[in-house]
Amino acid sequence: MSEKTMKNLAEGFSGESQANRKYLAYAAQAEKEGYPGVAKMFRTIAAAETYHAHAHFQAMGGVKDTRANLKSALEGETYEFTVMYPGFIKDAEAEGQETARRSFHLANEAEKVHGALYQQAIDKLDSLKGKDADWYLCPICGFVQEGSAPDACPICKAKASVFLKNPQC
């Protein structure tokens, strides 16, 4: 594949992925404001953007076997918690942007957990074949845990009652 086409696919993947997330945020706001039909429209178009993103990513050769996908995910998470978010946190602190700093800090701490989970899955992948599991997500900070929700989130201290079981995006 040409360098230009690969660049275009990557840009398309990025744009469609961001549109999906943005439209889901817009849907939540429309719901809060009492526009359920508009919220459904945003969610439906967000789903369409996901299909576009997946098609571009597949065309790029971005999806491999599960072991390779886990390694790729681990690399991404490791970059986020070792390079990206520490830099963002430093910049937000220097600029006195507390809301941004907190957002970056919570994400950074959750990314460390995600990385550890990916590493554990890589380490025991052969024993996971055919096994199901329940996963719990803290919607405040992004902490993820297998099995059951903790009494309190170890990152942001949110109560177990707010955790989402096996959430779908």
CATH number at 149 reads 2.20.28.10
User: What would the mean pLDDT of 59-81 be, rounded to a whole number?
Assistant: 98
Per the structure, how many domains does the chain have?
Answer: 3
Cβ(42)–Cβ(19) below 8 Å? no
Q: How confident is the model at residue 168 (pLDDT cuts 50, 70, 90)?
A: confident
pLDDT of 169 reads: 75
Check whether residue 124 and residue 137 sit in a common domain: no
Residues 69 and 101 in one domain: yes
Per the CB < 8 A criterion, the answer to whether 23 and 45 are in contact is yes
Q: From CA 54, how far away is CA 47, in angstroms rounded?
A: 11
Looking up residue 103, the CATH number of its domain turns out to be 1.20.1260.10
Whether residues 53 and 73 fall in one domain? no
Domain that holds residue 117: 65-131
Do residues 119 and 139 both lie within one domain?
no
Residue 154: which region, alpha, beta or left (left: phi > 0; alpha: psi -120 to 50)? alpha
66/45 Cα distance (integer angstroms)? 28
* 99 pLDDT more than 90: yes
Residue 99 CB burial class (10 angstroms; 0-12, 13-18, ≥19): exposed
Residue 56 contacts residue 92 (beta carbons within 8 Å): no
Question: How far is Cα 25 from Cα 38, in angstroms, rounded to an integer?
Answer: 12
